[in-house]
Amino acid sequence: MTQNAGSTITRMLQMHPQIDKSPFDLGALTECIDACFECAQICTSCADACLGETEHAGHLMHCIRLNSDCADICITTGRVLVRQTQPELAVIRAQLQSCLAACKACGDECQQHAEKMSMKHCEVCMESCRRCEQACQALLATLN
């Protein structure tokens, strides 16, 4: 029943008055925006789920920290990418690089807990981080 945010942002950007001047590939852009917002949501949830693992919270300290950073960085990256009025590529590239680094670090940490401790929420979070990392990489590639 839930709508797909990805398709709604595609509709929005198609109606944007400055979209003809956009330096972005619209498909790669909306994929990346969608991945950033999803990853922000899932990392916020993973930090909270790790906190709720009462017995294991000590082992998950680094995961909670990386989840928190990754959630903040993904939201900001998503919002910067949504804006299509006179984009500043130097800022956008640097923020995409930071998002890449955050998703890589968080995805790697979650993968360990998924594999060694069978943490299912870390497995889902790892998938969101990997998807977002790849979407940032793909979008950066279209800008070079």
Do the beta carbons of residue 32 and residue 135 sit within 8 Å?
Answer: yes
Do the beta carbons of residue 9 and residue 36 sit within 8 Å?
Answer: no
Of 12 and 112, nearer to a second copy (C-beta) is 12
How big is the CA angle at 56 (ends 52 and 57), to the nearest 5 degrees? Answer: 55
Alpha-carbon radius of gyration of the chain: 16
What SS3 class is residue 24? coil
Of 79 and 137, nearer to a second copy (C-beta) is 79
What SS3 class is residue 29? helix
Structure tokens at 71: 């959630």
Give the nearest distance from C-beta 24 to a second copy in angstroms: 13
Give the nearest distance from C-beta 37 to a second copy in angstroms: 5
Give the nearest distance from C-beta 131 to a second copy in angstroms: 7
CA–chain centroid gap for 130, Å, is 9
Give the nearest distance from C-beta 67 to a second copy in angstroms: 11
